[in-house]
A and B are shown apart, each in its own frame.
Chain A
Amino acid sequence: MHEKVLARVEPPQAFLEHLDPRIKIVCTLVWAGCIVTIPERDTAAQVSFGLILLALLALNRRSCGKFIRRFGAALPLIVLLVALLPFFREGQVLRRFGLLEVTQEGLWSAQRVATSAILCVAALCLLWATTHEADLIGGLSGIGLPAIFVGVLACMLRYLHVLRPELHRLWDARAARTIGARSGGRFRSASNLLGAFFLRSHDRALRVADALAARGYDGQWRGAQCRRLTTLDALAAGVFVAGIILLRWSPWR
């Protein structure tokens, strides 16, 4: 249950970790825009974008562990999203399962949605894996997201760090007291644990809010300001955005 957590925020090392968070967020948005507009059955474009993503991962090998953990958590949701698509589109029937029919168009549709989802989610995971949480919040604020949205997101992310040790403590206490319990007993104690966790989270939230208010928090989140953009930031953003736009809409493709 215990997760390995870094005791120190490490200085940036991989290429993407050096880039300004605003640049990375904007590039990710442009990337998503290109991906979702790839037409169905254009597998060449899908493969090209996939290769670019692999190249970026190779450039940032140090963040691969974090990337895989985050992407692994999102993968079941993508599978869930795509699993039923082959059955719900009219077209040439390939196979029947009772009342359900798998159509060729349905399969293409599922392939397109799956590829788009994988490429977009993977880009988001790469952004998350190569950007420190505080920089991510600063970057979102820097690109002009409403302050209320940034504030809620910042509080939510930080509160997760507060709750994680709380859950660990409850889990350990439960493990220490459920010696040899049958599965029914274990289920009951797990339910109790969740109930206690909810109540504790609520109490903790009130105390955390008091502690924030005591230090001047007035509902407006004030994080450290973003640094000035460097030539490297501008160059990287220019090359990346121009490259993927050309790849997506180039007239000679």
Chain B
Amino acid sequence: MALILSESSPTTPSPAPAIRLEGLRHRYPDGVEALRGVDLEVPAGQRVALVGPNGAGKTTLLLHLNGLLKATQGRVWVSGIEVRPATYADVRRRIGYVFQDPDDQLFSPTVFEDVAFGPLHLELAPGDVAARVQRALDEVGLSGFQGRVPQRLSAGEKRLVALATVLSYQPETLVFDEPSAALDPGNRRQLLRLLARLPSTQIVATHDLDLAWELCDRTILLTGGHVHADGPTRAILADRKLLEANGLELPLRLQLETSETTA
């Protein structure tokens, strides 16, 4: 049974939510059931953290949002459009998916071409493509990186370029799979500031609960393929018992506050 905490929904819900899942189930070919009936609605403009232990089904859930995985059962809507083969192109231009490993996403000989990949598939004019690339790189603070070779960038730069590759086609919803993995504190802070500045709907699957605490209005705790708790981030992530029962810990900042109080 999911724990639903009521004081959520900080933004006014639009007629069509950014994301809607209805009874989503997914079973992999080896028989592992990664999602066991997930119902979820994310209003436009909301920043949602998706947390849970390893194997909870976070990545599997994200991969359904733009049809990279097909649901065994259940339905998914993105901005009111049902995700199915006929609507993949439409859905994918609305969802900007930043993968866990930027090396999977950076595939071109230059940063320019990687960032231009999405706009080129929108059939934009060459001038518009170049302008979009410039704007996306400006946004992530990497102006002048157009001619760089992606494989030779640092981990932090790769992460930012991966973000620029989706910002360039201006999706309505950004989806992040472990955005702060392998980042040093400085790069993590830079990414956090950047994400906080972006106005789009954001869904962030992460183990970095401090990032979730600082960035997200709402947190969804996924365990064993279903939603175990859903509510305001400050309520979910401050619940030590709930987190520990699900293989997680309080965010570091709360642990420090608790230890200071005890001392």
Contact = CB atoms under 8 A, between A and B. Distances in A.
B92 A5 contact: no
A208 B126 contact: no
A107 B129 CA distance: 57
Contact of A134 (B93, B113, B118, B148): B113
Interface of A: 5-11, 132-134, 158-159, 161-162, 164-165, 204, 207-208, 210-218, 222-225
Contact-residue size bin, chain B (C-beta under 8 Å from the other chain):
35 or more
Contact of B121 (A133, A165, A222): A222
Interface string B98-112: 010101110111100
Contacts of B121: 215-218, 222
A8 B99 CA distance: 24
B166 interface: yes
B255 to A, nearest CB: 34
Contacts of B109: 9, 132-134, 158, 161
B151 interface: yes
B97 A214 contact: yes
9 A-B pairs with the lowest CB-CB distances in the bound complex, closest first: A216-B121, A207-B104, A7-B152, A222-B120, A214-B97, A215-B118, A211-B105, A9-B147, A211-B104
B104 A9 contact: no
Interface in B106-163: 107-110, 113, 116-118, 120-123, 126, 129, 147-149, 151-152
B101 A215 contact: no
A9 B105 contact: no
A142 to B, nearest CB: 14
Contacts of B113: 134, 223-224
A214 B95 contact: yes
B104 A210 contact: yes
A10 to B, nearest CB: 8
A159 B165 CA distance: 18
A214 B120 contact: no
B99 A211 contact: yes
B77 interface: no
Contacts of A223: 113, 120
A225 B118 CA distance: 15
B149 to A, nearest CB: 6
A130 to B, nearest CB: 15
Contacts of B201: none
